[in-house]
Amino acid sequence: MGTPAGGLLLLCGAGGGCMSVQSTAGGTFWSLPEPDNPAYVARLFTSQILWVAVHPLHHYIRRGVPPFMDLTLPLYAEDIRRILPHRYPFLLVDRVTELELGKRAVGYKMVTANEPHFTGHFPEYMLMPGVLIAEAMAQLGGIAVLSLPEMAGKQPMFGGIDNMRFRGQVRPGDKLEMDVTIDRLRASMGKGHGVAMVDGKVVCEGEMVFALG
């Protein structure tokens, strides 16, 4: 990516963590989560190449993901694809509007009639399957988790669904708004609570257990 005239400016937090990379001519190019580990170091060159040296760098090289990620909100489909391994037709989050790394994510999916599951569920009365509503919430929670530098590139998998309740229908044309909070997170597993709404009414709510491979 080219660097505009005027060079780059690295903004750092009180603990020494890099928060964002900006052009001195204005505009943010990468928003970096402020790391808790002060060993994170960033080096910038005002040429055509941005170098970011992050410890441990081999973690990202091994997983094939960059050591930095654009987390400027809102996150659009192309941003989400850089975080999640899911692809069409099974990528079920269209946009992320709020994000607390490792803690919480808010986003939505626009439900459309041309989605493949509607050909059989049901042709005469299209309903989004409840399992896909749960999957959409799980993917949103996955964005909150995989946005953490130490979790980037991991493979999220369902480990269980607890106390899931479906309280309303989701049909083509609906905006499925979701809010997922991560209650517990370890290196290889975690648990979260999700709420999904349409027009301000809760249509699904429950807890999700996930594994990280």
Residues with a catalytic annotation lie at 121
If you write DSSP's letter for every residue of 58-121 in order, what string do you get?
HHHHHHT--S----PSSB-HHHHHHH----TTS----EEEEEETTTEEEEEEE--TTSGGGGTS
The DSSP letter of residue 197 is: E
Please give the full DSSP string across 27-66, using - where no structure is assigned. -EEEE----S-TT------SSS------SSHHHHHHHT--
48: Cα separation from own chain's centroid: 28
Question: Are 50 and 44 a contacting pair, CB within 8 Å?
Answer: yes
**Residue 38 half-sphere exposure toward CB, CA atoms < 13 A:** 4
Contact 149, 172 (CB under 8 A): no
- CA gap 18, 31 in Å, rounded: 9
DSSP annotation of 188 = S
